[in-house]
Amino acid sequence: IEREREGRAERKGGFVKLETGGMSPVDWTVADVASYFTAAGFPEQALAFRTQEIDGKSLLLMQRNDVLTGLSIRLGPALKIYERHVKVLQRTHFQDDEAFC
């Protein structure tokens, strides 16, 4: 297990959680999204998120095909990004929303 402070990654079982001062992904800026993927080990792909101006709201709305083809990144990293990060962030965010209903 690897842990670092603010703006860094915390690795637990392959999932990387960015320390964003408690901000929900829905509030992330384009820079926050890029920082998240850089910290997760995808610096080249983080540039694609920045270039396409993907903020937290956009990230949470992305579907598999958006990540695999819409960002023009290699298939292997795109699959890892979607399965290990985008889906997990979506699941966590939308489960949290259900708790408020």
Q: With respect to residue 55, please indicate whether it lies within any of the assigned structural domains.
A: yes
Instruction: Tell me the percentage of the chain whose pLDDT exceeds 90.
Output: 68
Q: What is the pTM of this model?
A: 0.77
Q: With respect to residue 9, please indicate whether it lies within any of the assigned structural domains.
A: no
Q: What is the pLDDT of residue 22?
A: 73
Q: With respect to residue 4, please indicate whether it lies within any of the assigned structural domains.
A: no
Rg of the chain taking only CA atoms, in angstroms: 13
- What does the pLDDT look like over 16-37, one tens digit per residue? 555 556 789 999 999 999 999 9
Q: Please enumerate in sequence order all residues whose Cβ is within 8 A of that of 6, keeping only pairs 6 or more positions apart, or say none.
A: 19, 21
Helix or strand holding residue 12 (H, E): strand 9-12
Burial class (CB in 10 A: 0-12, 13-18, 19+), 75: exposed
Here the CATH number for the domain that contains residue 73 is 1.10.150.50
Q: Please enumerate in sequence order all residues whose Cβ is within 8 A of that of 92, keeping only pairs 6 or more positions apart, or say none.
A: none
Q: With respect to residue 78, please indicate whether it lies within any of the assigned structural domains.
A: yes
Contacts 24+ apart (CB under 8 A), 83-88: 84/14, 84/15, 85/15, 85/16, 85/36, 85/37, 85/40, 86/59, 86/62, 88/15
Q: With respect to residue 44, please indicate whether it lies within any of the assigned structural domains.
A: yes
Q: With respect to residue 101, please indicate whether it lies within any of the assigned structural domains.
A: no
pLDDT over 50 at 6, yes or no = no
Q: With respect to residue 20, please indicate whether it lies within any of the assigned structural domains.
A: no
Q: With respect to residue 3, please indicate whether it lies within any of the assigned structural domains.
A: no
pLDDT over 60 at 47, yes or no = yes
Instruction: Give the chain's domain count.
Output: 1
Instruction: Provide the domain limits for residue 56.
Output: 26-96
